[in-house]
A and B are shown apart, each in its own frame.
Chain A
């Protein structure tokens, strides 16, 4: 969920807009007393804005729909997890960009209303750069800014990459705004340039954000150029050392203990599965809660033991690590020409 601070309703107070993993864009309206509870931004018919997949708050299950698909396109199942408000067609009101976590594509919900009374379209319009649909693999988030100062808004997109495995990581791409706007004033973008390339995930320390790259740009250090701040997961494997015989024996014991603990946790999962098997939806829900409550003490104890065991093992035989951080990329392309503000 990447927040955008924007005066969405044009009342002079800043609102917070964000697409969330629920599959929809949300808005927290700014008031003189503070930010209000976030609400979904709905389309012109009062319906929820989604790509395909979404969390159904009524059924409390994941759901999917094709009602917003462009009928002229063959689309894969999409999942909106990021949103950004921008006047895409220069008609004086905010339209919505929707980023697709699953396919890496970008869609537009055009505002057919006004700035004060928005009426968002019911169909997701897929956006292109050059002649190709925008596709970054898996999208984390997008921002709109004029990176190169040519007067045309550019798209800054962070991609997810392979967030757990050893596949290629995420990147930060810039799709330069093109002067060739559409006849209706639509923004246009050229083929992307890579600002931060995906790199291998090997290393003994966290060196960079490897996956799930959420990026924003501003003059962070006040030297007159745009820098990047990037959130994401780093993946690394600390260097091991030569173990004494006693330590080797300890590793073997800890390894067995860990395997046993995992087996016990799996058993609890299996018991839970068996308990709800063949039951109706409501009955299964109740039974599931009941079993989880009964298992909660045991689960907590096992998890605690497993964490302790894993930590002891990691001290002796470092395992691959994965943790999220926020990184600063200082732009050192040109020397400062004017003073900015930190």
Chain B
């Protein structure tokens, strides 16, 4: 993934994401029963130390992917199959030298 390719998901003061206007959100929303996400047929982020997922369009295709950080300081991402609820298998976020991008945790 290249920082120049991936689009910045800016959470602006208007409730607009990726050019799609969202309905005004209820401050007391109702959520469906949570489901565990899968990526490439495996449970996403399973067994990672304190997985911290964030939405992000990693390949600039206009679709929301998911990036998972962890306590160790490493990042993986799962790309969305466009137009579906499916995610491709997790891959590591690498640095510019081709090594794991490592946030150098203690």
Choose the segment among A69-77, A122-130, A221-229 that binds chain B (4+ C-beta atoms closer than 8 Å). A221-229
Q: Which B residues from 41 to 63 make CB contacts under 8 A with A?
A: 43-56, 62-63
B50 x A334 contact (CB < 8 A): no
Give B56's nearest chain A residue, CB to CB: A5
CA of A316 to CA of B81 in the docked complex: distance in angstroms?
40
CA of A153 to CA of B35 in the docked complex: distance in angstroms?
28
- Contact residue range for chain A? 35 or more
CB A25 to nearest CB in B, in angstroms, measures 10
Choose the segment among A113-121, A252-260, A271-279, A324-332 that binds chain B (4+ C-beta atoms closer than 8 Å). A324-332
- What chain A residues lie within 8 Å of B8 (beta carbons)? 5-7, 14
The majority secondary structure among interface residues of chain B is loop
CA of A228 to CA of B55 in the docked complex: distance in angstroms?
9
Give A160's nearest chain B residue, CB to CB: B50
A34 x B94 contact (CB < 8 A): yes
B75 x A3 contact (CB < 8 A): yes
A230 contacts which of B49, B53, B83, B96 (Cβ < 8 Å)? B53
What is the 8 Å Cβ interface bit string for chain B, positions 1-44, against chain A (1 contact, 0 not)?
Answer: 11110111101111101111111111111111111110000011
Interface size for B (C-beta < 8 A) is: 76
| Cβ of A38 under 8 Å from chain B | yes
CB B24 to nearest CB in A, in angstroms, measures 4
B52 x A144 contact (CB < 8 A): no
CA of A207 to CA of B19 in the docked complex: distance in angstroms?
34
The 3 closest A-B pairs by CB, nearest first: A30-B3, A34-B96, A149-B15
B interface residues (Cβ-Cβ under 8 A, vs A): 1-4, 6-9, 11-15, 17-37, 43-56, 62-64, 66-73, 75, 80, 82-85, 93-97, 101-106
Q: Would you mind naming 26 contact pairs between A and B with Cβ atoms under 8 Å apart?
A: A1-B103, A3-B75, A5-B6, A14-B4, A14-B8, A15-B3, A20-B106, A22-B104, A22-B106, A140-B52, A141-B52, A143-B11, A148-B26, A195-B29, A216-B54, A218-B55, A218-B64, A219-B18, A221-B85, A224-B20, A225-B23, A327-B35, A328-B34, A328-B35, A329-B34, A331-B31
A interface residues (Cβ-Cβ under 8 A, vs B): 1-7, 12-16, 18, 20-23, 26, 28, 30-38, 55, 57, 140-141, 143-153, 174, 176, 193, 195-196, 206-209, 212, 214, 216-222, 224-233, 323-334, 336-342
